[in-house]
Structure 1
């Protein structure tokens, strides 16, 4: 309990015993209240007013034209960015995620807690009214005597005691005036924390959506990989039969048959391995949409979702929608207001209180004019000595503010880095896909020619195996690149805060 200096005192009197005192007290209380409100409105809140911290800025992104320094604007609508991939099944999965994802449910509950905390801080601006009723028994004893109790019963003997019963009913009002702005700073801090929690919820939603879209796209690429391997197995089975027939005819040695069989079984094993990878992605999707893996299944299909057309010029306002940046800045606002809350402890608290009711020793005439009582008066409470506790709390608040500023600046820098990374990745993968497609076309043509030559008996089967292996590797590399480009596009969208609605001049993807 802190030592406090009390200025002013509560006055308690029987209303019937001091005629006119109640009206004078009400007049006095009214003037005091008006004076205190005037002081509260005229004074400024203790502590520094918030100013956005300076952070690293860039006139534009190195990897794209049309960028400028960002300022958080996470309340801007992002739209259904996943629809850029043109997949109806993906859209349905996102709807299930929004409704049933447990990470979202947890973040939403945290937001409701922060919202309730801010509402509680706002409630401190209003008076507190309480009703208290009760009955008590008390005794005072000692001596050899005969004593009559309140109920008219006599008790005699050396241990006789006087027993009394008291009935109380009172209504109390208490109101802390925010002269120094402590309550305002607390509301400012809690409101900023609530807004940060709302941004955290948006960040979790965007993260979970991004994870689902990436997993879904990878699963569809695996379906395409499986289809390719199944087709390759069929082709290798045909090559194996050719080699076996030629061996039986005495045209080729037994080694050609064993090589064809080895290649066939190796490819079959690769196809089986994809089943495990696909199952893992399917299980991950099940958790994201809030169901048990045993209750979730996606049928395989041959079509991979389209790669979105990335705009030629991306405005920096897109980065401003990142919820993690907004959350970091709002935590700076909260920490800044907490400094004012800590500094307000140096100043006295002013509380206006009033209590009135009835007190009687008998239930029959409990609520009657002679039994009325009341008290009214202001109270100043101020800490005179605390061994440096308040100053340490102020230093903690200031250090906490410095930490949130550093976190905010780091979040901004990380945002710039992520966008730069994914822009570079998409540009490099696009050029790589062009070159890879040229190599794949050449591998397909080489495979067609070498098979014809083998059937004609002009080349060894080892040459066929070498070309087949190269062609299959090129096909799988093409699909891997396609999956990487799709994943990078999702990561870029998430890094931009969710989509690029309203941006024109798209770059058509190169398949």
Structure 2
């Protein structure tokens, strides 16, 4: 850094400004008025005023270096309907409601999602990050204002006899007040670009908060659906165990009466044991989902929600799923908005790095009052002041500054790639979720038909076995088919519920009108 003395003219070269190199002659002037009697107004005071007036047009004609941001275009296919809506009647291009979980018509789910949006720790973290980004923006905006420093001091000093000109020691007091001010002229827009970058970071943080709300709402619905689905599968397994226990009892009776074999009893017992083994797994997964649900809503894991604990059937949207179109999706998804705002911030940072290639101009001024007696501090002879510009420039060695420009440009290129990837990923996730949801519905319909047929076949086989028309082997096979069909249907119901939640999450809704998150009182269960 080179600081030009106030008494020397300096010739500055500004590369890359306008159409070609511009040479300007500048003079750094510092007017200092020492302590003592006030002189009559003269050339020094006039020159300071002229300097201040002369710098005003210079500040007003400042340019902003670096690229100006424009929002990148998105693929034209993203503005139309989703391709999968033409392949299934389960989804329609109607607008997605803000609070999609209300489509389930489940008051328990509505309450749980509202509770999670108000108290979830991930949402609280994102809200704190947004508050910090807002503070950083306020800090950057403060760079447009002058920096000021107010000081006051008192000094009691003693001069020794050996160093005194009179050969005797003496003591003295000195009282002083001071006010310093400095202002950076944003000649090349470095401060402006820094504010733009901070504004982009703030908007990205706001989008990240909305993204956290989308994720928490979806995961809350998923955990609730998982708990209900596992309860339903456990109930199916228990009912199947009851039926298979009846078959085993019948087999034992026949064996005792001499109409069966030990092998028939063992085969019936194996079928019963396999079904019984599924019950603990379903119960464990059910309770695990309830623990996850408690934490999602800001509670301790053991604070299991009583209403969710009673749920025995997974929630399901019976109507056609409203999915909107691609344009509405990209406008709604917070991660797309966050990626776009991050790109804007990184583009502005290119301008911040570019401004460092050019001189920095500061306007400096100070006023001081000093006197050996406290009563003389505010008298005219105690006044001193100074005013003038300070020019600093990292020149000619600009290796580091130019490397930072290249670094900032690379960061902006990476942000553009992330934005494009986020847009494509959003479209992909919706198409995949629609395809999987349609497949889950078709599979569920087929399994429902299979479950009904297997139940009728098992009843018919038992009647035929009772009358001696069928063998015990056919009865066991019919019971196994019924057990497998019932279990597959229960698992398919769970898959449909999960696919619906995945589709809602991919659509990116649920953040609109969310409450301000707050910490849950640990003393309140």
TM-score in same-fold range (> 0.5): yes
- TM-score scaled by length of structure 2: 0.84
Which ranges in structure 1 are unaligned for 5 or more consecutive residues? 67-75, 149-153, 156-161, 502-511
Alignment partner of 2:192 out of 157, 170, 184: 184
Q: Secondary structure at the match of 2:133?
A: helix
Q: Determine the structure 1 residue equivalent to 2:149.
A: 130
Query: How far 1:78 sits from its partner (Å)?
Result: 6.2
Q: Determine the structure 1 residue equivalent to 2:419.
A: 408
Q: Structure 2: how far apart are the matches of 1:21 and 1:465?
A: 116
Q: Secondary structure at the match of 1:168?
A: strand
Q: Structure 1: how far apart are the matches of 2:293 and 2:322?
A: 32
Query: Do structure 1's residue 9 and structure 2's residue 19 form an aligned pair?
Result: no
Q: Which moved more, 1:42-51 or 1:295-304?
A: 295-304
Q: Structure 1: how far apart are the matches of 2:410 and 2:340?
A: 16
Query: Do structure 1's residue 467 and structure 2's residue 478 form an aligned pair?
Result: yes
Counterparts in 2 of 1:96 and 1:170: CA distance versus 1, 3 Å: same
Q: Which moved more, 1:90-99 or 1:356-365?
A: 356-365
Query: How far 1:373 sits from its partner (Å)?
Result: 1.3
Q: Structure 1: how far apart are the matches of 2:123 and 2:323?
A: 32
Q: Determine the structure 2 residue equivalent to 1:62.
A: 83
Query: How far 1:33 sits from its partner (Å)?
Result: 4.5
Query: How far 1:478 sits from its partner (Å)?
Result: 1.5
Q: Determine the structure 2 residue equivalent to 1:228.
A: 236
Query: How far 1:13 sits from its partner (Å)?
Result: 0.6
**1:211-222 equivalent positions in 2, closer than 5 A:** 211-222=219-230
Q: Structure 2: how far apart are the matches of 1:480 and 1:271?
A: 13
Q: Determine the structure 2 residue equivalent to 1:72.
A: none
Query: How far 1:425 sits from its partner (Å)?
Result: 0.9
Query: How far 1:62 sits from its partner (Å)?
Result: 2.6
**1:493-508 equivalent positions in 2, closer than 5 A:** 493-498=504-509
Q: Determine the structure 1 residue equivalent to 2:253.
A: 245
Alignment partner of 1:261 out of 265, 269, 275: 269
Counterparts in 2 of 1:142 and 1:253: CA distance versus 1, 3 Å: same
Alignment partner of 2:310 out of 297, 300, 303: 300
Counterparts in 2 of 1:466 and 1:369: CA distance versus 1, 3 Å: same
Query: How far 1:329 sits from its partner (Å)?
Result: 1.0
Alignment partner of 1:382 out of 390, 393, 398: 393
RMSD: 2.8
- Give the count of matched residue pairs: 479
CA shift digits 1:200-254 (9 cap, x unpaired): 1111121122112111111111111111111111212222222222233333223
Does the CA contact (< 8 Å) of 1:15 and 1:21 recur in 2?
Answer: no
Does the CA contact (< 8 Å) of 1:426 and 1:488 recur in 2?
Answer: yes
Q: Which moved more, 1:311-320 or 1:286-295?
A: 311-320
CA shift digits 1:291-344 (9 cap, x unpaired): 221222442332321225344773223312111111111111111111111111
Does the CA contact (< 8 Å) of 2:197 and 2:348 recur in 1?
Answer: yes
Q: Structure 2: how far apart are the matches of 1:145 and 1:359?
A: 23
Q: Which moved more, 1:223-232 or 1:35-44?
A: 35-44
Q: Determine the structure 2 residue equivalent to 1:40.
A: 59
Which ranges in structure 2 are unaligned for 5 or more consecutive residues? 6-26, 88-94, 513-525
CA shift digits 1:47-86 (9 cap, x unpaired): 11002234544254332359xxxxxxxxx99622221222
